[in-house]
Amino acid sequence: MIRFWALGFGLWVLCLDAPLRAQAGSSGGYSDPRAPGTVSTITPPQLKDVTFKQRLGEMLPLDAAFSDDDGRSVTLGQLFGRKPVLLAFVYYQCPMLCTQVMNGVSSALKVMPFRAGQDFDVVLVSFDPRDTPAIAAEKKRAHLKYWSAERDAAAWHLLTGGAASIRRVTSAAGFTYQWDQRTGQFAHVSGILVVTPEGRLSRYFYGVEYSPKELRLALVESGEGRIGSAIDELLLYCFHYDPESGRYGLVVMNLVRLGGVMTVLFMGGFILMMRRRESRPPPPNRP
């Protein structure tokens, strides 16, 4: 009983951990040229129609046709069905922002208890129809080598496709982008999605840095019981996803209820232990 209470108390303390860290800003890839390294508060004309709107619960078009980084023809649905998926929209010749998104994913995965390929897959969809499987393969090779994650190569799927297929998938996910003729780059918002094994949009995270704790919760929740432990389920009881902020926050009432249960278990265990001690016969007196 005491061991059980200690485990429960430890989990309760885990839920009391500091609120989840804020995600990086959801700005696109444009900075204020007058102040290098800072993001302008004025929306450039190129970003006027660029969005990444949450469409939670919507299905991706799983019949959309692409080529993977090995040059094989695949449909999006062939990459789903068994486990949740981390999905990102990037383009492989992007000079900066898309690489930061990929680095943000790998940085978070480094400290997560789940294994890419075993518990989830990573799918990147290029929204530049000029990207080719060869370009995707080189991007994948360089990225995994940088992160010393070559063993996870089978779990990373870098897709390329025609404009029609790209538009179907990005539109379903609420992701819009614009080509900027002046800079020769795409204007777009950075972020990633967590998708259920069936291809349903589950969680959105914005910016280029992603909390491992939040991704862990999202994968457990989106995995629909296929991955995670009892501890992960308890964490989901303590934290709730807020679509407006794109983050998980503490559920105070659930935390209070959990604290009450732990207190009752502790008191009950303590009383039971004391009664057992009182019921034991005294040791015999030695001569």
Please enumerate in sequence order all residues whose Cβ is within 8 A of that of 33, keeping only pairs 6 or more positions apart, or say none.
none
The rounded distance, in Å, linking the Cα atoms of 4 and 268 is 12
Burial class for 18, CB neighbours closer than 10 Å (0-12, 13-18, 19+): exposed
Using alpha carbons, list the distances in angstroms from residue 154 to 114, 116, 147.
Answer: 15, 9, 15
Higher pLDDT, 72 or 6: 72
Percentage of residues of the chain with pLDDT beyond 90: 54
The gap from C-alpha 81 to its chain's centroid, in whole angstroms, comes to 18
pLDDT at 59: 97
Select from 55, 48, 88 the least CA-distant residue to 187: 48
pLDDT of residue 116: 93
Give CB contacts under 8 A, 24+ apart, made by 93-98. 93/128, 93/130, 93/131, 93/135, 94/29, 94/185, 94/186, 95/185, 96/29, 97/28, 97/29, 97/188, 97/190, 97/208, 98/190
The pLDDT score that the predictor gives to residue 44 is 61
252/282: higher pLDDT: 282
- Exposed/middle/buried for residue 169 (C-beta within 10 Å: 0-12, 13-18, 19+): buried
- Supply the pLDDT for residue 88: 98
**Cα angle value 171/175/181 (rounded, 5°):** 105
Average pLDDT, integer, range 168-178: 97
How high is the pLDDT of residue 89?
98
Residue 183: pLDDT band with limits 50, 70, 90:
confident
H or E element, residue 247:
strand 247-250
pLDDT recorded at residue 178: 93
- pLDDT digit string, tens, across residues 28-69: 443 333 334 444 455 566 566 799 999 999 999 999 999 999
pLDDT classification of 249: cutoffs 50, 70, 90? low
Does the pLDDT value for residue 26 go beyond 90? Answer: no
- Chain segment 185-242, per-residue pLDDT in tens: 999 999 999 999 999 999 999 999 999 988 988 898 887 655 544 554 555 456 556 6
Instruction: Classify 205 in phi/psi space as left (phi over 0), alpha (psi -120 to 50) or beta.
Output: beta
Mean pLDDT, the chain, rounded, equals 78
Of 93 and 287, the structure prediction assigns the larger pLDDT to 93
Tell me the mean pLDDT in the region 164-168: 97
Helix-strand-coil percent breakdown of the chain, rounded to 5? 40, 20, 40
Which residue(s) pair with 205 in the sheet? 192
pLDDT-derived band at 271, boundaries 50, 70, 90: low
pLDDT bracket for residue 141 (50, 70, 90): very high
Token code pair at residue 212: 């491992």
Which tokens go with 154? Answer: 């089978």
Domains of the chain: 1-22+228-277 (no CATH), 24-31+43-210 (3.40.30.10)
Helix (H) or strand (E) run with residue 87 in it: strand 85-90
- Can you point out the beta strands (E) in 109-228? 121-126, 156-159, 178-180, 185-187, 191-195, 201-206
